[in-house]
Amino acid sequence: MRTLTLLILVLALLAFLFAAGAARADNCSIDLKVGDSMKFDQRTVSVSSTCKSITIHLAHQGQMPAQSMGHNVVITSTDAFQSVANDGLKAGLSGNYVPPNDKRVIASTKIIGGGEKTTSSFAGSLLKPGAAYTFFCSAPGHSSVMRGQLLVE
Protein backbone atom coordinates (compact mmCIF):
# COMPACT_ATOMS: atom_id res chain seq x y z
CA MET A 1 0.00 0.00 0.00
CA ARG A 2 2.77 2.39 0.94
CA THR A 3 4.61 1.57 -2.31
CA LEU A 4 1.51 2.44 -4.31
CA THR A 5 1.13 5.81 -2.55
CA LEU A 6 4.77 6.55 -3.22
CA LEU A 7 4.35 5.57 -6.88
CA ILE A 8 1.35 7.89 -7.23
CA LEU A 9 3.31 10.72 -5.64
CA VAL A 10 6.22 10.17 -8.01
CA LEU A 11 3.90 10.09 -11.02
CA ALA A 12 2.17 13.27 -9.86
CA LEU A 13 5.54 14.94 -9.44
CA LEU A 14 6.63 13.86 -12.92
CA ALA A 15 3.35 15.14 -14.41
CA PHE A 16 3.86 18.45 -12.64
CA LEU A 17 7.44 18.78 -13.86
CA PHE A 18 6.38 17.91 -17.40
CA ALA A 19 3.59 20.52 -17.32
CA ALA A 20 5.95 23.13 -15.89
CA GLY A 21 8.51 22.32 -18.56
CA ALA A 22 5.90 22.59 -21.32
CA ALA A 23 4.70 25.92 -19.95
CA ARG A 24 8.22 27.25 -19.86
CA ALA A 25 8.74 26.23 -23.49
CA ASP A 26 5.99 28.61 -24.57
CA ASN A 27 7.71 31.48 -26.28
CA CYS A 28 5.46 34.52 -26.30
CA SER A 29 7.99 37.27 -26.80
CA ILE A 30 9.94 38.56 -29.77
CA ASP A 31 13.20 40.16 -28.69
CA LEU A 32 15.08 42.16 -31.30
CA LYS A 33 18.11 44.41 -31.06
CA VAL A 34 19.14 47.08 -33.56
CA GLY A 35 21.88 49.67 -33.85
CA ASP A 36 23.19 52.34 -36.20
CA SER A 37 22.92 50.12 -39.28
CA MET A 38 20.00 48.66 -41.18
CA LYS A 39 20.10 45.31 -39.47
CA PHE A 40 18.17 43.28 -36.91
CA ASP A 41 20.24 40.99 -34.70
CA GLN A 42 18.16 38.01 -35.90
CA ARG A 43 16.93 36.86 -39.29
CA THR A 44 14.37 34.44 -37.88
CA VAL A 45 12.27 34.65 -34.74
CA SER A 46 9.67 32.20 -33.50
CA VAL A 47 6.70 32.22 -31.16
CA SER A 48 4.42 29.49 -29.85
CA SER A 49 1.00 28.99 -31.40
CA THR A 50 -0.48 28.73 -27.90
CA CYS A 51 0.34 32.29 -26.81
CA LYS A 52 -2.62 34.39 -25.65
CA SER A 53 -0.58 37.53 -26.03
CA ILE A 54 2.75 38.11 -27.75
CA THR A 55 5.04 40.99 -26.87
CA ILE A 56 7.63 42.55 -29.15
CA HIS A 57 10.67 43.99 -27.32
CA LEU A 58 12.82 46.25 -29.46
CA ALA A 59 16.07 47.78 -28.20
CA HIS A 60 18.08 50.33 -30.20
CA GLN A 61 21.65 50.05 -28.97
CA GLY A 62 23.09 52.62 -31.34
CA GLN A 63 23.70 56.36 -31.00
CA MET A 64 21.88 57.88 -33.96
CA PRO A 65 18.52 59.65 -33.54
CA ALA A 66 15.18 58.37 -34.86
CA GLN A 67 15.24 60.98 -37.66
CA SER A 68 18.32 59.50 -39.31
CA MET A 69 18.53 55.89 -38.09
CA GLY A 70 15.22 55.15 -36.40
CA HIS A 71 13.90 51.60 -36.41
CA ASN A 72 10.66 49.83 -35.62
CA VAL A 73 9.20 46.36 -35.94
CA VAL A 74 6.16 45.70 -38.11
CA ILE A 75 4.62 42.25 -38.55
CA THR A 76 2.48 41.31 -41.53
CA SER A 77 1.80 38.20 -43.56
CA THR A 78 4.71 37.72 -45.95
CA ASP A 79 2.31 38.33 -48.87
CA ALA A 80 1.36 41.78 -47.54
CA PHE A 81 4.82 42.89 -46.43
CA GLN A 82 5.84 44.83 -49.55
CA SER A 83 2.58 46.74 -49.97
CA VAL A 84 2.43 47.63 -46.27
CA ALA A 85 6.05 48.83 -46.40
CA ASN A 86 5.18 51.06 -49.38
CA ASP A 87 1.98 52.43 -47.83
CA GLY A 88 3.71 53.05 -44.49
CA LEU A 89 6.02 55.66 -46.02
CA LYS A 90 3.07 58.05 -46.37
CA ALA A 91 2.50 57.96 -42.60
CA GLY A 92 5.85 59.67 -42.04
CA LEU A 93 8.00 59.53 -38.92
CA SER A 94 5.19 60.96 -36.78
CA GLY A 95 3.02 58.03 -37.88
CA ASN A 96 5.89 55.58 -37.33
CA TYR A 97 5.83 54.74 -41.05
CA VAL A 98 2.88 52.42 -40.47
CA PRO A 99 -0.41 52.84 -42.37
CA PRO A 100 -3.03 53.77 -39.74
CA ASN A 101 -5.88 51.36 -38.92
CA ASP A 102 -4.64 48.88 -41.47
CA LYS A 103 -5.87 45.30 -41.05
CA ARG A 104 -2.80 43.97 -42.85
CA VAL A 105 -0.66 45.18 -39.94
CA ILE A 106 -0.69 42.42 -37.33
CA ALA A 107 1.56 44.33 -34.94
CA SER A 108 3.89 47.31 -34.93
CA THR A 109 6.06 49.29 -32.55
CA LYS A 110 6.87 52.97 -32.68
CA ILE A 111 10.08 54.14 -34.34
CA ILE A 112 12.90 54.56 -31.83
CA GLY A 113 16.38 56.06 -31.96
CA GLY A 114 19.67 55.20 -30.29
CA GLY A 115 19.47 54.31 -26.61
CA GLU A 116 15.72 53.80 -26.68
CA LYS A 117 13.58 50.73 -26.08
CA THR A 118 9.98 50.01 -26.91
CA THR A 119 7.47 47.19 -26.56
CA SER A 120 4.19 46.33 -28.22
CA SER A 121 1.79 43.48 -27.52
CA PHE A 122 -0.76 41.79 -29.74
CA ALA A 123 -3.16 38.84 -29.54
CA GLY A 124 -1.60 35.48 -30.34
CA SER A 125 -4.81 34.50 -32.15
CA LEU A 126 -3.79 36.87 -34.97
CA LEU A 127 -1.11 34.34 -36.00
CA LYS A 128 -1.91 30.98 -37.57
CA PRO A 129 0.51 28.08 -37.20
CA GLY A 130 2.39 27.33 -40.38
CA ALA A 131 1.47 30.60 -42.15
CA ALA A 132 4.26 32.82 -43.49
CA TYR A 133 4.91 36.06 -41.61
CA THR A 134 7.53 38.74 -42.10
CA PHE A 135 8.84 41.19 -39.52
CA PHE A 136 10.49 44.30 -40.86
CA CYS A 137 11.51 47.87 -40.16
CA SER A 138 9.32 50.31 -42.08
CA ALA A 139 11.68 53.33 -41.94
CA PRO A 140 12.30 54.63 -45.49
CA GLY A 141 14.70 52.38 -47.40
CA HIS A 142 15.11 49.91 -44.54
CA SER A 143 12.61 47.16 -45.33
CA SER A 144 14.45 45.90 -48.41
CA VAL A 145 17.27 44.63 -46.19
CA MET A 146 15.94 45.00 -42.66
CA ARG A 147 13.54 42.12 -42.38
CA GLY A 148 13.19 38.52 -41.31
CA GLN A 149 10.88 35.61 -40.90
CA LEU A 150 8.46 35.04 -38.03
CA LEU A 151 7.69 31.37 -37.42
CA VAL A 152 4.65 30.18 -35.47
CA GLU A 153 5.40 26.82 -33.89
Ramachandran quadrant class, 97 (left: phi over 0; alpha: psi -120 to 50; beta: rest): left
Q: How far apart are CA 98 and CA 12, in angstroms?
A: 50
Q: How far apart are CA 75 and CA 21, in angstroms?
A: 28
* Least distance (Å) between residue 49 CB and Zn ion: 28
- Nearer to Zn ion by Cβ, of 107 and 137: the residue is 137
Neighbours of 75 (CB within 10 A): 24
* Least distance (Å) between residue 137 CB and Zn ion: 3
- Nearer to Zn ion by Cβ, of 83 and 144: the residue is 144
* Least distance (Å) between residue 142 CB and Zn ion: 4
* Contact indicator for 72, 147 with CB cutoff of 8 Å: no
- Nearer to Zn ion by Cβ, of 105 and 137: the residue is 137
* Contact indicator for 65, 113 with CB cutoff of 8 Å: yes
Q: How far apart are CA 142 and CA 38, in angstroms?
A: 6
Which of 16, 60, 64 minimizes the C-alpha distance to 40? 60
* Least distance (Å) between residue 139 CB and Zn ion: 4
Return residues touching Zn ion (CB under 5 A). 71, 137, 139, 142, 146
- Nearer to Zn ion by Cβ, of 51 and 105: the residue is 105
- Nearer to Zn ion by Cβ, of 110 and 142: the residue is 142
Which residue number is nearest to Zn ion in terms of Cβ? Answer: 137
* Least distance (Å) between residue 152 CB and Zn ion: 23
